[in-house]
Amino acid sequence: MTLRLKYSNYKQDLGFGNSVAIACEKCGLRPDEVMAVIKNVKNQVEQVASQLPAQMRTELPTHVGYLGIALVSKDKSASKSELDYVMNNLKKASEVGSVTPEWMETTRIDLEKINWATKRLS
């Protein structure tokens, strides 16, 4: 997979034989790519929802959805706010042992893609 910036192509290796494709228009993810990453994070969160503290079980998947909507609508402020909420809650879940370090690492990669896209919103 290839990281494509406007007028240039880049390949980003994630290790373990994985690479990432982030196609950009003016250095932002395309809406379909944003939604694919958001869907992946939401699926990952839903897989461990029963292990999360009670309030996070329903709120975290909901806020991942809000994050996707904010990114697709190119709302930088809302994207940053929702990303911070998701990341802070996942950090708390990790600290109390609700999720494994391996799960956090997988999710961290997707969240870094989302963070990258959020920073490039105008």
pLDDT of residue 12: 47
CATH number at residue 97: 1.20.1440
**Which token pair is 13?**
């290796």
Q: Which domain holds residue 47?
A: 30-119
The number of beta carbons lying within 10 Å of the beta carbon of residue 38 is: 23
pLDDT of residue 79: 93
* Domain membership flag for residue 61: yes
Question: Of 25, 64, 29, which is closest to residue 45 (Cα–Cα)?
Answer: 64
Is this structure's pTM higher than 0.85?
A: no
Strands 8-10 and 3-5: antiparallel
Give me the residues of the chain with pLDDT under 50, please: 1-14, 22-27
* Domain membership flag for residue 62: yes
* Domain membership flag for residue 23: no
| Residues 6+ away with beta carbon under 8 Å from 66 | 78, 82
* Domain membership flag for residue 38: yes
As for how many domains the chain has, the answer is 1
pLDDT of residue 44: 92
